[in-house]
Amino acid sequence: MDFSIFKNKKVLITGHTGFKGSWLGIWLNHCGAKVIGYALDPQHDKDNYVLAGLTNKIKDYRGDIRNTALLSKVFNEEQPEIVFHLAAQPLVIDSYENPSDTFEINVQGTVNVLEQFRLSSSAHSLIVITTDKVYENKNSGQAYKEDDRLGGADPYSASKAAAEMVTSAYQQSFFSNKQNNKHVYTVRAGNVVGGGDWSANRIVPDCIRAVENNEAIIIRNPKSVRPWQFVLEPLCGYLRLAELIERGKAPDDTAFNFGPSLENCVPVLDIVEKIIKHYGKGSYEIKNNNTALKESALLHLDASRAVNELGWKPVLSLDETIEITTSWYKYYREGNVYDRCLKQIDWYLSKWK
């Protein structure tokens, strides 16, 4: 992968203070891009964004994605060329507690970004980050392809499926005429793991919190199979897509799945056992899931479109995925988190050689 094309490019990341957004900001900053961020404040003082000191390395705007006046000001003042839209309420359980906010942030927030992108004279690429949960889940074990039916049985999944439809409507209504040279894509990945994510109800942060507190890890859905992937894998796919657009080799505006190989689709219990192994300590207890909240039991993405059209593929084994993830949490207290992230990026890129 050669991302030197991003040097001096103005790239706006919404959701840059979050887990995936912070890694994307570090990566693009490393490529020499002029990174602009727009998001709410970080949630935790141990977030990757905070510990990596990214706020001092990029142009950092704090605002709500529903604040159209501020978002418009940022587009007008910064004149971004490439936009990655990650800002979202990203948690299924929170979406049951705050469905209305989830729909507003994830659907209207996406409309707001699309609208600014439409009106912008500088921006020519928009990549909207959704999720593997946008598919109508038949629990059949099938691998979902981009043209499969969208759905979503919980507010989060439905809000992201709606964000897909909104994006598709903008694509067809405003950007299908290539003369305006605007490219819009949606990208779908799921169960992303990596350093600096402290979100509640995600398995890796839950494990790390328990291990750091010398408590047993509580597992509620040990048999739920998920497509685990290291954060840099889907980010590499998003960057590859943006790179091809910059090189004038953009594929047709569409959706792309960036899922891991089948080998990385394993039950939660296997992940917990690997985290304990790589961290070097920890124990777990299995407790029956007594929640009535629905979450899809089995999800797997077919990434062959990304493989064939973008030359992207998942390159890490499951063991590498969990080892590199766990190592961030093992060593973040020792400082130099930004450099540590860069080393992980270089190590990841070496897998492509």
Ligand X SMILES: NC(=O)c1ccc[n+]([C@@H]2O[C@H](COP(=O)([O-])OP(=O)(O)OC[C@H]3O[C@@H](n4cnc5c(N)ncnc54)[C@H](O)[C@@H]3O)[C@@H](O)[C@H]2O)c1
Q: How far is the CB of 253 from ligand X (least distance, A)?
A: 19
Identify which of 20, 59, 60, 53 has the alpha carbon closest to the alpha carbon of residue 332.
53
Question: Residue 235 or residue 245: which is nearer to ligand X going by CB?
Answer: 235
Q: Select from 28, 105, 161, 271 the one that contacts ligand X (CB under 6 A).
A: 105
Identify which of 186, 182, 275 has the alpha carbon closest to the alpha carbon of residue 237.
186
Cα distances (angstroms) measured from residue 116 to each of 68, 85, 254, 290, 342: 9, 12, 20, 43, 32
Alpha helices (H) in the chain, listed in sequence order: 19-30, 48-51, 68-78, 92-97, 99-103, 109-119, 155-170, 203-212, 232-246, 268-279, 304-310, 318-331, 337-350
Q: How far is the CB of 249 from ligand X (least distance, A)?
A: 25
Q: How far is the CB of 181 from ligand X (least distance, A)?
A: 26
Question: Residue 44 or residue 216: which is nearer to ligand X going by CB?
Answer: 44
Instruction: Assess 20 for contact with ligand X (CB under 6 A).
Output: yes
Instruction: Assess 15 for contact with ligand X (CB under 6 A).
Output: yes
Place of tokens 């939660």: 268
Structure tokens at 114: 């699309």
Place of tokens 């141990």: 46
Question: Residue 67 or residue 216: which is nearer to ligand X going by CB?
Answer: 67
**Site for ligand X (CB under 6 A): how many residues?**
25
Rounded Cα gap, residues 205 and 193, in angstroms:
9
Instruction: Assess 196 for contact with ligand X (CB under 6 A).
Output: no
Residues of this chain, 123-182, that bind ligand X according to CB under 6 A: 129, 131
Q: Select from 60, 64, 94, 320 the one that contacts ligand X (CB under 6 A).
A: 64
Q: Select from 55, 199, 304, 327 the one that contacts ligand X (CB under 6 A).
A: 199
Instruction: Assess 194 for contact with ligand X (CB under 6 A).
Output: no
Question: Residue 189 or residue 315: which is nearer to ligand X going by CB?
Answer: 189
Q: Select from 28, 33, 35, 39 the one that contacts ligand X (CB under 6 A).
A: 39
Identify which of 343, 302, 251 has the alpha carbon closest to the alpha carbon of residue 147.
302
Q: Select from 25, 80, 90, 152 the one that contacts ligand X (CB under 6 A).
A: 90
Identify which of 221, 191, 187 has the alpha carbon closest to the alpha carbon of residue 205.
191
Question: Residue 25 or residue 282: which is nearer to ligand X going by CB?
Answer: 25
Residue type, 326: T
Instruction: Assess 17 for contact with ligand X (CB under 6 A).
Output: yes
Which residue of the chain is nearest ligand X when measured via CB?
Answer: 18
Q: Select from 152, 190, 227, 259 the one that contacts ligand X (CB under 6 A).
A: 190
CB 167 within 8 Å of CB 184:
yes
Rounded Cα gap, residues 254 and 152, in angstroms:
20
Q: Select from 33, 35, 111, 189 the one that contacts ligand X (CB under 6 A).
A: 189
Q: Select from 3, 18, 203, 328 the one that contacts ligand X (CB under 6 A).
A: 18
Q: Select from 123, 192, 225, 232 the one that contacts ligand X (CB under 6 A).
A: 192
Rounded Cα gap, residues 264 and 204, in angstroms:
15
Instruction: Assess 87 for contact with ligand X (CB under 6 A).
Output: yes
Q: How far is the CB of 285 from ligand X (least distance, A)?
A: 24
Instruction: Assess 40 for contact with ligand X (CB under 6 A).
Output: yes
Instruction: Assess 86 for contact with ligand X (CB under 6 A).
Output: yes
CA atoms within 13 A on the CB side of 308: 5
| Secondary structure (DSSP) of 212-259 | HTT-PEEES-TT-EEE-EETHHHHHHHHHHHHHHHTT-PPPS-EEE-P
Structure tokens at 235: 């980010």
Interface with ligand X (CB under 6 A): 15-21, 39-40, 64-66, 86-90, 105, 129, 131, 189-192, 199
